[in-house]
Structures are given as C-alpha cells and as structure tokens.
Structure 1
C-alpha cells in the first residue's frame, strides 16, 4: 500500500464516514471531496478526458499505453450516497494503468436527492 493510501486511511479513521454518523450526507461528501483533492492524485502516465453521452457526466482515464478496443467501466463506491469520479480517480487510474486500457468513471446521481426508482 502506498504512503498516500496509508495517510488517506489514517485521515478517514479520524473522520469516520459511517452512515450512522451525526454528520449530514452533505458534510460527509464535502469532507471526502476535500481530502480527495488534498491527498489523491491522477497517476503519472494517465490523462483525463471528459465524456457526456446524453446521460450522466463521466471521465475517461487514459493511460499512455493502452489497448484501444478494451474499456473498464468503473462505478465508484460510496453506498450510492457519497463519492465521485474525483474521489476515486487515483484508484481507477492505477487500475487503468496496470490493465493498459481506458477506464470510464461515471458520475452517477446520488441518494437521497435522487432515490431509486
């Protein structure tokens, strides 16, 4: 595990993001985005492109050396309430780098503002 990953996990332990926390969903999202901007970075050798195909926004993570006929569809974690392509860009970027293929990270709508169905 990288130093940055260990540091990020240590910070998460200081500020728990558990659903039964006293923090509102918006506070949890804001803190997660803040620490992602502070600690997580796009891997070297991976370029970001943005996609809009008539649905939710998404971003492409494109490694310098990639297999053009393969794609990873990456749906970030966060229990459908928190998280974004930004908070998961480093993880998805390394996955795309090691797999040598592009990754599409979807910025899907989150609950509770957008309930299912």
Structure 2
C-alpha cells in the first residue's frame, strides 16, 4: 500500500516546471524481473484511489497513474495515462497510445471523485 501527498510545497515537477505535478513509482531495466511487464504478457493492475474534496488540478496536468515503456521506439510517451486536467469543469482523462500518438479514450469530471 502506498499513500501519496501531492501538492506539497513547492508544487512542481522535478524543480523545473511549476505547472504540473507527478508522483511516481518506477521500474527500470535494472529492476527485478517480477516487477517488469514484457511483450505478450498479461498484467492486471488493481488499485483504489481517492481524491480529497480540496484537491486542486495543476494548470498543465496532474498524472495520477501511467504505464510507460523503459526502452524501445516508444519509450518517450506513456502507453496508458490517468490524468487530471485543468478545465471547466476539471476532468479526469484516460489516455492510450499504441505507438507515439496518444488519444483520450474516456473522460469524467473530477468532481465525481472528490471527497471519496
């Protein structure tokens, strides 16, 4: 189990960009094999999350979950992303890319998840 505290002071991304927020758990090519997914393997993720009622979406993006390749031609873009996006109203986006062209496949208002 993990508990993350996002939007702590300072609210920034790697002390470089002040318009986004990331909280990450990563595996790399040096990680143990049981923590890495490989081509043609089926991996199932089960997780719960809650968004407090005072949660604020960063002005650019707030990654809540992403799956990204470690190496290869498409390592620079996440394959799957759950992103909170500043909008009117703020929204959650489920995004997917099989290559290097990411598409939003589902959206929902953040308010549906606040306070749970």
For the criterion TM > 0.5, the same-fold answer is: no
> Larger % of strand: which?
2
TM-score by length of 1: 0.27
Larger relative contact order, structure 1 or 2 (CA cutoff 8 Å, min sep 6)? 1
Task: Tell me the TM-score normalised to structure 2 length.
Answer: 0.27
